[in-house]
Amino acid sequence: DADVTQTPRNRITKTGKRIMLECSQTKGHDRMYWYRQDPGLGLRLIYYSFDVKDINKGEISDGYSVSRQAQAKFSLSLESAIPNQTALYFCATSDAGQINQPQHFGDGTRLSIL
């Protein structure tokens, strides 16, 4: 089983709909992240969480919200989806035990908003 699991893997929806992307991990990491990937732009950080009670905005948080339900679960919501939120979304985790540990990624959710 994957260490970082994202659901769904693919989603097509309409403008204005509420969408939730879910992420769960079995690595026991405290730190979790949500990124979006767009062609030619690399990965951009949406939100990150260092523990269940700690949620922080990244560089492109507008239009998104998150929930850290447990150490292992971190969900990303689009309250009212718009077409320019069409992208590939990744959840990642990292170990807080040592500084600057590499991140471990899920396989991504491909989201299309019509």
By CB under 8 A, name the binding residues for other proteins. Answer: 4, 31, 40-45, 48, 50, 56, 58, 90, 92, 99-100, 102-108
Minimal distance, residue 80 CB to other proteins, in Å = 27
Q: 32 vs 72, which CB is nearer to other proteins? A: 32
In 3D space, the residue among 77, 72, 61 whose CA is nearest the CA of residue 23 turns out to be 72
Question: How many helices and strands, by DSSP H and E, does the chain display?
Answer: 0, 11
Q: Which is nearer to other proteins, 20 or 45 (CB)?
A: 45
How far, in Å, CA of 35 to CA of 29, rounded?
A: 17
55: region left, alpha or beta (phi > 0 left; psi from -120 to 50 alpha): beta
Q: How far is the CB of 15 from other proteins (least distance, A)?
A: 26
Q: How many CA atoms lie within 13 A of 97 on its CB side?
A: 4
For residue 69, the minimal CB distance to other proteins (Å) is 21
**19 vs 45, beta carbon nearer other proteins:** 45
